Amino acid sequence: MLARIRISVPDRPGSLGAVASAIGGAGADIVKVDVLQSESSRALDDVFVSVRDPEHLAAVSQTLGAVPGVTVEGTQHPAPPVTGHADLELLAQVLARPERGGQTLVDGAPGALGADWGALVAYRDDGTAGEVVAASPGCPGPDHVRLTVPLRLASVRMWPPGADEPYGGVALVPVGDRLGLVLVRKDGPPFHASELWRLGQIGQIAATALDPVTAT
């Protein structure tokens, strides 16, 4: 199983070596490391690892958290693909059949873009979020899509109905002027600025094939 572990580490030589040793000692394999940012003498990295199951992932995270100077910011499983061009393949499918492009987008976006489920929301003339016009199979229902922010590219907070804690990460991605793609990580790390930039580009391209009418 491929999983993502987001860690904060001291930005100095040897830090990633200590991380790699801890992961190897816990019986997992590193597939890829993405450096998200580096500032104030610390780096924020997404480490993609191959683990057996969620219990193994929890053990690896606990081992990493015990490494001096390392903070585990969050985990996600399954993680999005680290090789290939899943996002470009998704866009090709959307552009090829725009008459059902909205459903194609939300069906493929979670797996290609690193989320548990997604939904496409139509915004009203007054700038408020309206109805859910398409949702991925993993979406627990339209009542779980509760947006109180205007349509903009952003990492937002959204709560499941009746829950005390928000979802782990929620991204709002404009798809044209009237549609918003909502991507939800139930327990995973928040969407980082580097991820949002990529999502924004995907939203702009998808918008060329979609509008509030074809999205349905």
Domain count, the chain: 2
Residue 202 maps to a domain: yes
pLDDT confidence of residue 211: 62
Nearest Cα to Cα of residue 179 among 87, 105, 75, 92: 105
Domain boundary among the residues 23, 41, 76 is at 76
Asked if residues 145 and 132 have their Cβ atoms less than 8 Å apart, the reply is yes
For residue 142, the model assigns a pLDDT of: 93
| Ranges in the chain, pLDDT < 50 | 213-216
Q: Is residue 178 part of a domain?
A: yes
pLDDT for position 38: 86
pTM of the model: 0.77
Task: Confirm whether 212 is domain-assigned.
Answer: no
**Domain co-membership, 57 together with 112:** no
Domain boundary among 32, 58, 76: 76
Chain center to CA of 87:
12
Residue 197 sits at φ, ψ, to 5 deg, of -60, -45
Q: Which of 132, 16, 101 is nearest to 64 (CA)?
A: 16
20: containing domain: 2-76
Are 97 and 199 in a shared domain? yes
Q: Are residues 159 and 127 in the same domain?
A: yes
| Tokens 């949002």 found at | 196
CATH code where residue 64 lies: 3.30.70.260
Question: Is 167 within the bounds of a domain?
Answer: yes
Is residue 190 domain-shared with residue 91, that is, in the same domain?
yes
- Please tell me whether residues 56 and 90 are part of one structural domain: no
Q: Which of 31, 50, 76 is the last residue of a domain?
A: 76
What pLDDT sits at residue 89?
87
Q: What digits encode the pLDDT tens for the residues 100-157?
A: 899 999 999 998 888 999 999 999 999 999 999 999 989 999 999 999 999 999 999 9
Whether residue 213 is contained in a domain is answered as no
pLDDT value for 179? 95
For residue 41, being part of any structural domain is answered with yes
